[in-house]
């Protein structure tokens, strides 16, 4: 119990807390009470998390990650609010950023909702169309090859180049974004599904054939699970590209979304909110990738 709690991260946490009580550079940074509460909250969270970890490696990772976070926060606090080493107008103190985050939370939620709605629509649409098509083309001796070449060509075009054309063709900027995300997911997923199907061991297919499976069973109980590892590769690539494209697109022409939030406030020179937006984008994408990886591990747990 004691060894779980008293580690280097605890020491850094104490330092971080102590640093908050140094004098601030300006009135505007005099937000130490908020930061103190934030630090206390982080400490409680860290402790609760540590109590749930069972393995020694997990605990080591936990310590290392919190050490890194606290070290950054200490350096950031000292460099801005406390010792004033960085220009105040460009480098907000952590206290300002976290306070701003709390104040803006409803605005942030709306923008996150807008971004995630587009991602979900485009990504799900892309996956739902690409996977069955990939299964079909991968299986088909006749169309498979041609489809492969066409997919390589069309998939090589970065979906971002469709944005201006899409704006002319489609009614709203939102539908353009969905379309671009759709393409970003569709091509890698189609290619990886086809390649997954093509690389199934013939012996696996023979084992299914001698059980006299019909075509739907072959497709959904044999071919689909056998190519699922490859399909997930494509989906992962699609999801990563989708985030890059969407935040870029939101910065170009949208009136909503996290990319819009960042660009809008940086245009006004409000770098506190710019930093808020950047941190939130990082957190949201990390959380989604974590969920995606969990799903992947769950569905592919048979690979051991």
Dihedral sign for Cα 297, 300, 301, 304, please.
Answer: negative
Least distance (Å) between residue 211 CB and another protein: 4
Least distance (Å) between residue 217 CB and another protein: 8
Among 5, 109, 206, 220, interactor with another protein by CB under 8 A: 206
Least distance (Å) between residue 127 CB and another protein: 19
**Contact predicate 56/33, CB 8 Å:** no
Least distance (Å) between residue 222 CB and another protein: 7
Among 23, 171, 216, 304, interactor with another protein by CB under 8 A: 304
**Listed ranges 163-171, 244-252, 280-288, 296-304: which one lies at the site for another protein (CB under 8 A):** 296-304
Among 57, 201, 216, 267, interactor with another protein by CB under 8 A: 201
Q: Could you give the CA distance from residue 288 to residue 123 in angstroms, rounded to a whole number?
A: 13
Closest CA to 226 of 213, 238, 237: 213
Q: Could you give the CA distance from residue 63 to residue 6 in angstroms, rounded to a whole number?
A: 10
Query: Which residue, 207 or 248, is less far from another protein as judged by CB?
Result: 207
Query: Which 207-236 residues touch another protein, going by CB under 8 A?
Result: 207-213, 217, 221-222, 225-226, 228
Among 203, 215, 216, 298, interactor with another protein by CB under 8 A: 203
Query: Which residue, 84 or 296, is less far from another protein as judged by CB?
Result: 296
Query: Which residue, 14 or 211, is less far from another protein as judged by CB?
Result: 211
Indicate the burial class of 155 (C-beta count within 10 angstroms; 0-12, 13-18, 19 or more).
Answer: middle
Least distance (Å) between residue 209 CB and another protein: 5
Per rule CB under 8 A, is residue 204 in the interface with another protein?
yes
Question: Interface with another protein by CB under 8 A: which residues?
Answer: 201, 203-204, 206-213, 217, 221-222, 225-226, 228, 301-304
């Amino acid at each position: 119990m004691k060894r779980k709690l008293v580690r280097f991260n605890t020491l850094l946490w104490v330092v971080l807390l102590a640093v908050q009580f140094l004098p601030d550079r300006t009135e505007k940074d005099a937000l130490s009470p908020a930061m103190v509460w934030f630090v206390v909250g982080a400490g409680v969270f860290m402790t609760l998390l540590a109590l749930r970890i069972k393995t020694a490696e997990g605990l080591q990772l936990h310590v290392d990650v919190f050490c890194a976070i606290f070290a950054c926060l200490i350096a950031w606090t000292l460099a801005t609010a406390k010792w004033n080493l960085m220009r105040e107008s460009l480098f907000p103190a952590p206290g300002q950023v976290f306070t701003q985050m709390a104040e803006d939370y409803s605005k942030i939620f709306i923008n996150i909702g807008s971004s995630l709605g587009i991602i979900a629509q485009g990504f799900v649409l892309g996956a739902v169309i690409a996977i069955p098509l990939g299964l079909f083309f991968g299986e088909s001796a006749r169309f498979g090859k041609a489809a492969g070449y066409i997919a390589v060509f069309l998939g090589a075009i970065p979906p971002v180049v469709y944005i201006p054309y899409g704006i002319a063709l489609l009614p709203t900027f939102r539908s353009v974004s969905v379309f671009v995300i759709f393409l970003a997911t569709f091509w890698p997923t189609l290619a990886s599904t086809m390649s997954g199907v093509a690389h199934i061991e013939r012996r696996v297919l023979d084992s299914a054939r001698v059980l006299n499976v019909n075509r739907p069973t072959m497709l959904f109980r044999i071919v689909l699970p056998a190519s699922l590892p490859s399909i997930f590769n494509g989906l992962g690539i699609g999801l990563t590209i989708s985030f890059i494209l969407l935040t870029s697109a939101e910065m170009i022409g949208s009136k909503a979304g996290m990319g819009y939030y960042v660009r809008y406030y940086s245009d006004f020179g409000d770098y506190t909110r710019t930093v808020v937006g950047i941190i939130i984008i990082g957190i949201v994408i990390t959380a989604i990738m974590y969920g995606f990886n969990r799903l992947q591990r769950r569905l592919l747990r048979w690979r051991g």
